[in-house]
Amino acid sequence: MQTSIFLARLLGPILLVLGLSLTINRKSYTTMSAEFVASRSLVYLAGAAALAIGLSIVLNHNVWAADWRIIITLLGWMATLAGISRLMFPDSVRRMGADMFESEKPIAVTGIVAIVLGAILCIAGYL
């Protein structure tokens, strides 16, 4: 449980700030995301970082309980899978990303989801 609380306290504020930033600055993030997926080097580095972060979460917190802790586990698995896909299929990821970031809608949706998950983790970790 101590690991869950630590990760909730770590990930909660990060997700809240990222979500608020994405929501407030949708246009800037849409442009930045399009530039990001155009760079093979950045896709590779993001894949390596996501794989390392995801595996570190999964190895330390693979908790499949029907409560808030599953959010942390799912984030770890999603980061692991995102890292693997970026490393194994970089051109496919770049194509999908380029198609996805033609509008601000994916950024806005991602921001709202991040705010909700961040709030849940902050409440669980700090209260």
Output the DSSP codes for 73-111: HHHHHHHHHHHHHHHH-HHHHHHHHHHHTTSSHHHHHHH
Closest by CA position to 98, among listed 31, 27, 24: 31
Is the pLDDT assigned to residue 93 strictly greater than 90?
yes
Q: Over the stretch 41-64, which tens digit does the pLDDT of each residue have?
A: 999 999 999 999 999 999 999 999
Q: pTM to 2 decimals?
A: 0.91
In percent, the amount of the chain with pLDDT more than 70 equals 100
Give me the pLDDT at residue 101, please.
83
> pLDDT value at position 4?
97
| pLDDT higher than 90, residue 1 | no
CA distance 125 to 5: 5
